[in-house]
Amino acid sequence: LPTPPAQLPYVPQVSPMALLGKVTATTFALERPCCVFDGHADATDTVWLAVAFANASASFRNPPSRADVPPYKQLPTARSYMTLETAAAAYSCSAPDPPVLRVGSDTACRDQGRQDPCNGPLPSPGPYRVKFLLMGCGGPKAETRWSEPILLRRAASPSTIDPAPAGRGSAVVVIASILASLGAVLATAVLGALGAKVWGSLCRRDLGTDAFIRRSYRTHHIPPALPQPLPPGCGCSPPGLC
């Protein structure tokens, strides 16, 4: 009988990193299992990811060889498949860390007719359970525990969409239009006030120049004094000649 694979304590989980689209309607991002298989893997071994519906994980059986790996296209009927075949060295402690492993990212799998393992989009919200399986030339060598159930996002039905946001959107458009009109009026008023101030300043400057040019500094005309008649006895000099 084949030797049962070693049971590893590692539990796969959705990546704890803050990622955009960590869980979508057809995919989810797993934490990379770093250092999990060190001490069990050889240079030629590979690590697989087994994906199963949560209620079918207990009945999943490890394939005895690579040729018996359940393919993606049998998921609707077999309720499980295996994917993400990777060299065991890629998960060693000394390997560079890829950020995450995304399950369900290969959209071309739906059109493939071959039996090759594929990482195709998940067909329903699930929930799903996953585990990593280390396989060598003689079959499975070590495996992790199954993950907790992973539930994907559900697409909203058109009948459940609230039409209220559309009304609120129209109200926002009206308010934005009013604010824009008020802004235009305010800008016009400010420009008009500035223009009037500048124009008044120019006019005062011109009036000051004309006043300076036209200003007269002529003194009042004082007529010359007429000669006054001399009093009698005051017209002869020296006295006694008149």
d(CA 52, CA 132): 12
Look up residue 21 and give its two tokens.
Answer: 């689209």
pLDDT at 114 over 70: no
pLDDT at 24 over 90: yes
34, 70, 192 from 115: Cα distances, Å: 29, 9, 78
pLDDT at 129 over 60: yes
Lowest-confidence pick of 73-77, 154-158, 225-229: 225-229
The single residue listed with the structure tokens 């071959």 is 114
pLDDT at position 187: 67
- pTM across the whole model: 0.64
> What would the mean pLDDT of 174-183 be, rounded to a whole number?
67
134, 182, 223 from 191: Cα distances, Å: 76, 14, 60
Neighbours of 203 (CB within 10 A): 10
pLDDT at position 220: 47
What percentage of the chain carries pLDDT values higher than 70? 61
d(CA 235, CA 117): 152
Looking at per-residue pLDDT, the higher value among 211 and 38 belongs to 38
The single-letter code of the amino acid at 163 is P
CA-closest candidate to residue 141, choices 2, 13, 43, 1:
2
Band (pLDDT 50/70/90 cuts) for residue 145 is very high
pLDDT at position 3: 83
> Please, are residues 121 and 107 in contact by the beta-carbon 8 Å criterion?
yes
pLDDT averaged over the chain?
78
Look up residue 210 and give its two tokens.
Answer: 């004309």
Per-domain boundaries in the chain: 15-153
